[in-house]
C-alpha cells in the first residue's frame, strides 16, 4: 500500500538528509507506528507519502501510484485516497463540526444527498452525535481530534496518516483516540502514525519503524517504543524501563490484535 525504495530527502543542498536510503513496505490494512527523536524524519516520511515534497532519490509507491513521478494535476486524486490528522487538529474554526466534515465531501463534488447521509454516520462512528452544531472552540481537545478524524475518513480513504494525533491530549483522552484509530484500522484502512507517545506504542504492540537521523534503525512487526536514550521522553522513561512492555496500566483497555476488535466495532465504542 505504501512502498519506499531507497528513499533519500535532502531539503537544502549541502544539508544533512532528512531521510537517507529509507526502504519500508507497508501492506494494506497494517497499523504502523513511526517513532524517533525530534528531527529524525517522521514528518518528512508522511509529507512524501502525501506528495507535499518529492524525494531527492528513490521510489515511492502509494496506493498503486508512483508518487515521486506523479504529475501535479494527479496529486489531488492521490490525496483523496489519503486521510490525514495532525497534532493541532486543523479544523476550520468558523465552521461547525458538521460543516467541517461535510466540507471534505463537498470539495470533491459529492452530491448533497450523499453528504446528508454520510456525515451523520461518520459523526456517530467517532462519537460526536449531538455535537454537530458546535464550533471547534466549543469542543474539548479530544472532541476536536474526533472531528478531525471524522473529516479525514469521511471519504473512506485507503490510508490514514496521523502525525502525533495524541500530542496535545491527556492520557485518558489519548486512549479514546487510539481506540478510534484502532477501529478505523480494523475496517481495513491502513494507518501510519508518527508518535512520541511511548505508552501507546508499548501497549498496542503493532509494527514499529524507528528513524534516527533520517535512517531506519529498527523495523519490528510487533514492537515497543524503544529504549534509546535519544527518543525516550523524560517523564516516560521510568514507566517504560520499570514496566514490562505490554503491561502499561492506562492502556490495557485497547484490544489486542485479533481479540474483540470486531465486537468493539459492533458495540459502537469509540
**11: contact with ligand ATP by CB under 6 A:** yes
CB of 127 to ligand ATP, least distance (A): 28
Distance CA 42, CA 209 (A): 10
Dihedral angle at the C-alpha atoms of 178, 115, 103, 174, nearest 10 degrees?
A: -10
Instruction: Give the contact letters, 239-258, x = binds to ligand ATP (CB under 6 A), - = no.
Output: --------------------
Query: DSSP letter string over 210-258?
Result: EEETTEEEEEETT------TTTS-HHHHHHHHHS-TT--GGGTTSPPTT
Distance CA 3, CA 247 (A): 32
**38: contact with ligand ATP by CB under 6 A:** yes
Task: Please pick, from the candidates 20, 22, 26, 42, the single residue that binds ligand ATP as defined by CB under 6 A.
Answer: 42
**56: contact with ligand ATP by CB under 6 A:** no
Nearer to ligand ATP, 84 or 125 (CB): 84
Q: Mark residue 79 as left, alpha or beta (left: phi above 0; alpha: psi -120 to 50; beta: remaining).
A: alpha
**193: contact with ligand ATP by CB under 6 A:** no
Distance CA 186, CA 242 (A): 31
Task: Please pick, from the candidates 31, 32, 36, 131, the single residue that binds ligand ATP as defined by CB under 6 A.
Answer: 36
* Residues in contact with 130: Cβ distance below 8 Å, sequence separation at least 6, in sequence order: none
C-alpha cell at 169: 491530549
**18: contact with ligand ATP by CB under 6 A:** yes
CB of 97 to ligand ATP, least distance (A): 27
Task: Please pick, from the candidates 44, 155, 189, 202, the single residue that binds ligand ATP as defined by CB under 6 A.
Answer: 44
CA angle 173, 177, 183 (to 5 degrees): 145
Nearer to ligand ATP, 19 or 181 (CB): 19
Nearer to ligand ATP, 36 or 127 (CB): 36
User: Which window, 11-19, 115-123, 125-133, 230-238, contacts ligand ATP (CB under 6 A)?
Assistant: 11-19
Tell me which residues touch ligand ATP (CB under 6 A): 11-12, 18, 36, 38-44
Amino acid at each position: 500500500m505504501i512502498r519506499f525504495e531507497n528513499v533519500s530527502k535532502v531539503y537544502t543542498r549541502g544539508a544533512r538528509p532528512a531521510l537517507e536510503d529509507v526502504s519500508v513496505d507497508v501492506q494494506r490494512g497494517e497499523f504502523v507506528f513511526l517513532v524517533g527523536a525530534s528531527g529524525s524524519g517522521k514528518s518528512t516520511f508522511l509529507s512524501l507519502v502525501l506528495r507535499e515534497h518529492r524525494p531527492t532519490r528513490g521510489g515511492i509507491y502509494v496506493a498503486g501510484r508512483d508518487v515521486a513521478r506523479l504529475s501535479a494535476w494527479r496529486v489531488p486524486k492521490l490525496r483523496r485516497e489519503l486521510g490525514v490528522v495532525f497534532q493541532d487538529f486543523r479544523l476550520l474554526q468558523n465552521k461547525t463540526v458538521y460543516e467541517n466534515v461535510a466540507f471534505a465531501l463537498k470539495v470533491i463534488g459529492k452530491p448533497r444527498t450523499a453528504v446528508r447521509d454520510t456525515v451523520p454516520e461518520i459523526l456517530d462512528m467517532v462519537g460526536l452525535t449531538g455535537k454537530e452544531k458546535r464550533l471547534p472552540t466549543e469542543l474539548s481537545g479530544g472532541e476536536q481530534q474526533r472531528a478531525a478524524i471524522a473529516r479525514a475518513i469521511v471519504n473512506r480513504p485507503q490510508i490514514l496518516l496521523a502525525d502525533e494525533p495524541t500530542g496535545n491530549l491527556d492520557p485518558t483522552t489519548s486512549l479514546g483516540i487510539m481506540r478510534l484509530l484502532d477501529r478505523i484500522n480494523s475496517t481495513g484502512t491502513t494507518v501510519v502514525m508518527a508518535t512520541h507517545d511511548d505508552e501507546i506504542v508499548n501497549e498496542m504492540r503493532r509494527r514499529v519503524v524507528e528513524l534516527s537521523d533520517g535512517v531506519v534503525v529498527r523495523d519490528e512487526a510487533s514492537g515497543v517504543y524503544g529504549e534509546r536514550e535519544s527518543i525516550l521522553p523524560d517523564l516516560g522513561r521510568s514507566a517504560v524501563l520499570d514496566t514490562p512492555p505490554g503491561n502499561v496500566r492506562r492502556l490495557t483497555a485497547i484490544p489486542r490484535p485479533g481479540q474483540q476488535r470486531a465486537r468493539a466495532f459492533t458495540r459502537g465504542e469509540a
